[in-house]
Amino acid sequence: AYPLHGAVRQDHSTMDLAQQYLEKYYNFRKNEKQFFKRKDSSPVVKKIEEMQKFLGLEMTGKLDSNTVEMMHKPRCGVPDVGG
Amino acid sequence: FSTFPGSPKWRKNHISYRIVNYTLDLPRESVDSAIERALKVWEEVTPLTFSRISEGEADIMISFAVGEHGDFYPFDGVGQSLAHAYPPGPGFYGDAHFDDDEKWSLGPSGTNLFLVAAHELGHSLGLFHSNNKESLMYPVYRFSTSQANIRLSQDDIEGIQSLYGARPSSDATVVPVPSVSPKPETPVKCDPALSFDAVTMLRGEFLFFKDRHFWRRTQWNPEPEFHLISAFWPSLPSGLDAAYEANNKDRVLIFKGSQFWAVRGNEVQAGYPKRIHTLGFPPTVKKIDAAVFEKEKKKTYFFVGDKYWRFDETRQLMDKGFPRLITDDFPGIEPQVDAVLHAFGFFYFFRGSSQFEFDPNARTVTHTLKSNSWLLC
């Protein structure tokens, strides 16, 4: 029932957080919102993996608990990718 | 490490900064000190030097703001984004903005301004984020007591030196500062060359400060304990200049450069640091070498170069007729003094690896010992 199979059960706020986080820090463009594509080809999954790789998390491509926890931590406002 | 696209950097070594406004969470002096220390972190590994201006356009403009603040990257209330900064360049480039919805602090609670400023100023100098979790330029905020004095990782040093090169090994115009190393050396208690930065008593215990650490000798355990300064007082700097206990006030004053802090037990008192000139020193005095309180007379002696001042702790004023030459009133004690202790009726002057026991009644040096004799060496 969840777009990202195997992810932590999400509510809208977590999904919103992830979207905002990826847009703000990983140059995720809004027109690439495609949560309902197959997980192994989803740009969202790839973006999540990019974030996980940069931040030293396991690259699951999912919004697992460690990833969600990391997104809630205070941080610098400068993006991690791009300029 | 990484740099911004195109690797922008300052094309000069002398960079100006200005603190445009202040958070109400901290005293102004604390904000000034945190920013100065944050810049020094980078200064110590590059040829860069920083000077502060109080008005006009500086290279790095530092400000506190909330929400939308004019650059289309609004802050977001408490948590999440703490601050951001721009890479080197004209106008708003190089500037650093801090989210004033955060609770700024100098300790482990709230958001540590010194730590965040050091990170943001790395951006102001041209560093982008690092994916190395041990690096200062890693994007996620992590405060630990060991970071109270920030040691750059090798990754941070390689990053900044890829832009500016290393600090020159000899430069007559540079004031010597302790070098920043990714693997700091720990002082060895019985090193025959050991000298102390500052020595004081605190509630009956003897404290001997050296670099980032101090030894603590209590009256019921002669074997000294060894601690990080930051483990007890996270907001204090390392490499202290002087310390003394005004024990009629249960307070230790700690000096570094032109500032001093007051601690009571393991709490740094609010309203500090203050400038040493508030004690009555002239502007020409930039730092204190050593300080000691004489309980019987309720006077504090401050040693600076070849002179000393005497401060009346009751009136909270410098005594008239000072400064005087150290050699005139303490014959046998040669300047410059590293630290002084008053105990058992004697003054103990620490100078390098030697210690001179001075009898104030006889006005003579009675014993010469090694500085670390207090540490059972």
Rounded alpha-carbon distances, angstroms, from residue B338 to A53, B148, B211, B293, B356: 49, 24, 13, 15, 11
Asked if B131 lies within 8 A of A75 by C-beta distance, the reply is no
Residue A41 token pair: 């080809």
Name every chain A residue with its beta carbon within 8 A of the beta carbon of B124: none
A36, with CB counted inside 10 A (0-12, 13-18, 19+), is exposed
Q: For the ranges A53-57, B118-122, B262-266, which has the lowest average pLDDT?
A: B262-266
Contacts of A17 in chain B (CB under 8 A): none
- Asked whether residue A31 carries a pLDDT value surpassing 70, the answer given is no
pLDDT digit string (tens) for B195-234? 999 999 988 888 999 999 999 887 566 678 888 888 888 8
Residue A1 has pLDDT above 80, yes or no: no
d(CA B235, CA B323): 31
Query: How far is the C-alpha of B138 from the C-alpha of A57, rounded, in Å?
Result: 13
Q: What pLDDT does residue A28 have? A: 85
pLDDT for B129-176, tens place per residue? Answer: 999 998 999 999 988 754 456 778 989 999 999 999 988 864 433 333
Which pLDDT value is given to residue B171? Answer: 40
The pLDDT assigned to B328 comes to 94
Mean pLDDT of chain B: 89
Q: Residues B15-63: pLDDT tens digits?
A: 999 999 999 999 999 999 999 999 999 999 999 999 999 999 999 999 9
Is pLDDT of B102 > 60? yes
- From the list B36, B43, B102, B120, the catalytic residue is B120
Shortest distance, CA A55 to any CA of chain B (angstroms): 6
ipTM over 0.90? The verdict is: no
- Where residue B184 falls among pLDDT bands split at 50, 70, 90? low
